[in-house]
Chain A
Amino acid sequence: MIRIENLHKTYRAADGREVAALADVSLEIGAGEVFGIIGRSGAGKSTLIRTLNLLERPSAGRVLIDGEDITKLDSEGLYALRRRVGMIFQHFNLLDAKTVADNIDWPLKATGHTNAAERAARVKELLALVGLSEQGHKYPSQLSGGQKQRVGIARALANRPQILLCDEATSALDPETTQSILRLLLDINRQLGLTIVLITHEMQVIRTICDRVAVIDGGRIVESGKVADVFLHPRHPVTRSMVAQSDALAAASFDPARVYMKDKLRGTLVRLTYIGDVTYQPILSRIMAGAKVQVTILQGEVSSIKDVPFGQLLLELEGGEDDIRAVFAELDRHQIHHEVLQ
């Protein structure tokens, strides 16, 4: 659906030096996918998402949407593209002078939909979709942050886009409102089969709704993959630190010594991670029943990333070397990943 090939963006700074905001970024995003791009501020994520509707023009490289290189579009083509790609913003960017209903109507009215009755019906439908049926007559200043973002979403969906770009869409919202907006985005993704590309600095957002994630740092993609994989087995230091900030257990497993005093451990410290159906099967109990190994659970988490169940356990195993090795072999057989920490 979206293919980004060798994208570069350089700015000329005030002192005349060239600064690279994006350096050789390549990504592929599938239709119907929720794709997250995470990075610290200044990492280039905002520039990256803005190249997808050419609010930002790349210095080099191609952006293909449905096989078409959008950097080659003329102005008519660009207008048409932007109507197929919705966008929502951190600060909502609603028109203060228009009512909620008129805000949603505006992209329809301004892109040549002349039938007022049809537009009114569409606005009503969108208000219902985002749960604001009663608020159509209000002005944005009378709404809460979460409600404003709902208006933003309804407005972005007005022209029935295939792609929705979310530029830090929940960063200005409190955690509870963030969750409700994320749920709404996920509903829309499922109901309408909309492809969603979002950027954020919060791992929690990625965990909640994304299928795949790319980590950007210094204008480069340093890591990407399925969210569960990246979350449970982060490789790049930036990814590790972002995961650690969102999850205490993950943080502990990167640096066990920080949590457990080394000298208190008698056996082997092992971290198990597993994804998918195995999460809800009594595999561990079966393996341990037959093994001559003592197991102590030090810390653990069973949860889900989007709708993929996963678990991670921090275990202390006590027993003979061969017995422990036998346990590891059994774990491997059941696709439970293990990692000896010390």
Chain B
Amino acid sequence: MDLSVIDWSDIWIATWETLVMTGVSLFFTILLGLPLGILLFVTAKRQLLEQGFVYTVLSFVVNVLRSVPFLILLIVMIPVTVILIGTSLGVEGAIPPLVVGTAPFFARLVENVLREVDRGVIEACQAMGIRTARIIFGALLPEALPGLIAAVTVTAITLMSYAAMSGVIGGGGLGDLAIRFGYQRFQTEVMVITVALLVVLVQIIQYSGDRLVLYFTRK
């Protein structure tokens, strides 16, 4: 393997782009997915704001979005992305499909994490005469914090691999580099380096997430 053929500035730019794509789409994924997950949880049967119809509709939409393979979603989303931000290419162009692809996934994770919170604790809050919204934000979410951080970690890693996949339709970052140089120009070295970098990034995210979970766990 001849590392001299590698243009390192390309690699660093691509790494940066991957981080930006992951970070920005993670932000929007949480922004959309967290409320959606909370809504799924509280409207479910025997929960704080049981609303059978709302739950069924939300759950259906989430399932539909989750059943579309991400590669297909990338393509299907192109016209929408163009309307939203003017281009479907590059770092910006990758963000809308990334968010649409992972927000429903994250919402499901949030719903599951919230279900793990002891019902008795929520009931105790109700018995104190505390309003439902206050219970959600003052008790439910803080109690679920370690689980929510773990869910964000899993989602961030999923986003990073999806971001790499967006290279297929002209998104930026390490995936784009791997496809254009590693695959189309047979530069195995570039392929190896990008994969190695992705491995390192995933390890860092997982390690940091685990540390945060531990830090906030009081059980």
Using a CB–CB cutoff of 8 Å, the interface residues on chain A facing chain B are 53, 55, 78-83, 85-87, 89, 91, 93-98, 106-107, 109-111, 139-141, 155-156, 159, 165
Contact = CB atoms under 8 A, between A and B. Distances in A.
Contact of B130 (A53, A96, A97, A110): A110
Interface of B: 118, 120-121, 123-131, 134-135, 138-139, 142-143, 145, 216, 218-219
A28 B173 CA distance: 73
* Residue picked from A91, A95, A165, most chain B C-beta under 10 Å: A95
A309 B216 CA distance: 52
B143 A111 contact: no
Nearest to B144: A97
B219 A83 contact: no
The secondary structure that dominates the B interface is: helix
B129 A91 contact: no
Contacts of B130: 79, 107, 110-111
A79 B118 contact: no
A83 B128 contact: yes
Contacts of A156: 128
A75 to B, nearest CB: 9
B126 A94 contact: no
Residue from B128, B130, B139, B216 whose CB has the most chain A CB atoms within 10 Å: B128
Contacts of B129: 78-83, 107, 111, 159
Contacts of A91: 118, 120
A155 B128 CA distance: 9
A55 B127 contact: yes
Contacts of B126: 55, 82
B124 A82 contact: no
Nearest to B143: A97
Nearest to A91: B120
Contact of B123 (A55, A111, A141, A159): A55
A82 B143 contact: no
A185 B110 CA distance: 39
A109 B134 CA distance: 10
Contacts of B135: 110
Given A55-B127, A79-B129, A159-B128, A106 B139 contact: yes
